Amino acid sequence: MKELQSIEQYNSIINEKVILLFSAQWCPDCRVIEPFLSELEEEFAAYDFYYVDRDQFIDLCQQLDVFGIPSFIAFENSNELGRFVSKDRKTKEEIQQFIRGLKE
């Protein structure tokens, strides 16, 4: 998974077909999903996946109303396709269901 490096990069990549994972190193629920993230990337190869460090990009999180992690937001052509944003622990099946349900 690629890691977001700057706001300029964010402004560029949301023009592509991307899924942003908002997370943080200290987040225990974020650690729970790590073992299967690479499987999700393979299964949904039409999307580029980016890790967004919540602490490094707190202003972006506020701008996008991401107040709980782990959370996912999908973009294409600068339009939000969908979001799975909450403070709750997420299962692989819930994440797969979210991605399959994105507006194409």
Question: Known catalytic residue: 30?
Answer: yes
To the nearest 10°, report the CA torsion of 42, 44, 48, 53. Answer: -80
Number of other residues whose CB lies within 10 A of the CB of residue 69: 23
Among the options 19, 27, 33, 52, which is catalytic? Answer: 27
Among the options 4, 18, 21, 30, which is catalytic? Answer: 30
Alpha helices in the chain (DSSP H): 7-13, 28-43, 58-63, 92-100
Catalytic residues: 27, 30
